[in-house]
A = this chain, B = another copy of it.
Amino acid sequence: MTRIVIIGGVAGGASAAARARRMSESASIVMFERGDYVSFANCGLPYHIGGDIESRDALLLQTPQSFKQRFNVEVRVRSNVEAINPTEQTVTVRNLDTNECYQQPYDKLLLSPGAKSVPPPIEGLSSNRTFTLRTIPDMDQIQALIDRDKPSHATVLGGGFIGLEAAEALRQRGIEVALVEFGKQVMANVDAEMASPLHQELRDHGVDLRLATALTAVADNGDSLTLTLSNGTSLNTELLILATGVKPETELAKQAGIALGPTGGIQVNSRMETSVANIFAAGDAVEHVDLVTGQAALIPLAGPANRQGRIAADNMLGGDKHYQATQGTSVCRVFGLTIAATGSSEKALLKAKRPFEKIYVHPMNHAGYFPGASAVSLKLLFNPDDGTILGAQAVGKDGIDKRIDVLAMAIRANLSVFDLEEQELCYAPPYGSAKDVVNLAGFVAANYLRGESDICQVEDVLAPSPEQVILDVRNPPELANVGTIDHAINIPLDSLRQRLDELDPTKEYLVSCMVGLRAHVATRLLLNSGFKAKNMTGGYKTYQMVKAARAVAP
């Protein structure tokens, strides 16, 4: 009989417990959870506050009773594991109700304690109007304050997943919301220009967005808080949600002599084994290997946590399963927009000093002639030597998660942009196009890599050399209605062939249109006619996104 002890009863721990029982009827499985709840839907918390999820019970996926009944797993909630004793193969547990301590022996131990919030280093955050949003009690307390005080103003600190979801939830409750973000963009895991449509969306939905702004002081006035911001302004608010990010819970691991990695997460091998015999770890507390860069990374996501728990369970019971690296596929709803990403961002590649090239496309999510079509703004990052896909990010109203899922699969399969050209995806007018967004991204990148159509970036167009001319091939009404590109001359595509004599063969033309498609036709026409030309990838839409990202000021 194998005695399995699991510390932490949410994603990784709960997955491991259920899997362990399925693999062995004879194992003894005990799961400790410090809080009151196990296996709750932590990703659903903001949606219950916002009202999307009406029933609180819907968030409680399993209870200690259901774990016992279905899986014969003994769940001890309100039980804080205070020490791991590797030599004795026991853990020291404190019952938070009785305050008694006891030793629990294990043959195999799984550490799945998760991550903890990292509040900003300022005072005044202990007010009873200040919360994190990571647990059922967090949510209950926020709900209770809203129900009791009917606050007119709330502030969310941090524009990551939880911050964005919390801001939306509070707006749905009719509360004025300020979102204060230290960085120059929300959703730090995507690149700045891809996040910029979110900024507009937040403001369009009444969120008072303060980018590049830190919270420097909090004063508690009893019925409200006064927040002092780094730009010298202050906010009067009745509710403050801290969503400034998390770091691995590693106190127990450190105390037990378990090695941590360079990122501060628990170091594990692909079997999810820590440096100490018979101790495994999974979930937000562990250090991941980034699939694209191969570097150590902290990637606190539910999917990887679940799969790691499953693999750890198998291995604790004598199996030999191996976890693959993590690619960080993620998605977030921000009011009417969806943003999603997989693989490495441009800034991550720059940081990792990995060579890359990037292209942008903005095709419709489905046939443009079918009602309800909306643009999918997709950024694709790839290896400039062999075209291997390194990362993708997309933002838009609809069909975003689908394209990122397809590209996540492509990255995992180590495919290249040439493979994207060949993909055969679902097409009927309500769902896609005969040339899907993913195909188009492949066409653009592969055209570039084959030398068929050189590209340039918005960065180039914003700082052209004296030998370069910016050529906008849109029609004059588009320029008037949508906006112009600084210093561009305008020759509409459909008259370009007739007006080639206006061009200077000694110049290089940086060609732009709305999304890059007409500019591609124009670039080819120019190249085939003996001119030097490059297509500004993604056209005016990308230009706008980059300019908006650059214009951010506190």
Contact = CB atoms under 8 A, between A and B. Distances in A.
17 contacts: A24-B528, A25-B524, A43-B434, A53-B429, A301-B424, A303-B427, A305-B434, A306-B434, A326-B424, A330-B426, A330-B427, A404-B426, A405-B425, A408-B423, A409-B409, A409-B413, A412-B422
Contacts of A409: 406, 409-410, 413, 415, 423, 425
A3 to B, nearest CB: 17
Nearest to A306: B434
Best-surrounded residue of A338, A422, A493 (most CB of chain B within 10 A): A422
Interface residues on A, range: 35 or more
A351 interface: no
B413 A303 contact: no
Interface string A398-409: 000110111011
B425 A408 contact: yes
Interface in A102-131: none
B329 A369 contact: no
Given A331-B427, A520-B22, A367 B405 contact: no
B428 A52 contact: no
Interface pairs A-B: 3 shortest CB-CB: A25-B528, A331-B426, A302-B434
B423 A367 contact: no
A525 B24 CA distance: 8
Contacts of A371: 52-54
Residue with the greatest number of chain B CB neighbours at <10 A, chosen from A72, A306, A405, A415: A405
A367 B44 contact: yes
Contacts of A353: none
- Copies of this chain, whole number: 2
Contact of A307 (B328, B405, B421): B421
Interface string A3-40: 00000000100000010011111100000000000000
Contact of A369 (B58, B66, B494, B525): B58
A304 to B, nearest CB: 7
B428 A43 contact: yes
Interface in A367-393: 367, 369-371
Interface in A68-101: 69-72
A5 B161 CA distance: 54
Nearest to A60: B369
A529 interface: yes
Nearest to A494: B69
A423 B434 contact: no
Contacts of A11: 434
Nearest to A394: B426
A340 interface: yes
Interface in A410-454: 410, 412-413, 415, 419, 421-432, 434-436, 438-439, 452
Interface string A251-282: 00000000000000000000000000000000
A431 to B, nearest CB: 5
Nearest to A498: B69
A331 B185 CA distance: 38
A306 B58 CA distance: 46
Nearest to A18: B521
A524 B23 contact: yes
A408 B88 CA distance: 51
Interface in A308-355: 324, 326-333, 338, 340, 342
A11 to B, nearest CB: 7
Contacts of A47: 370, 429-430
B493 A52 contact: no
A59 interface: yes
A417 to B, nearest CB: 13
A402 B54 CA distance: 27
Given A69-B494, A525-B25, A424 B44 contact: no
A517 to B, nearest CB: 11
A547 interface: no
A186 to B, nearest CB: 15
A41 interface: yes
A23 to B, nearest CB: 7
A469 to B, nearest CB: 20
A43 B370 CA distance: 10
Given A52-B371, A413-B409, A423-B408, A401 B26 contact: no
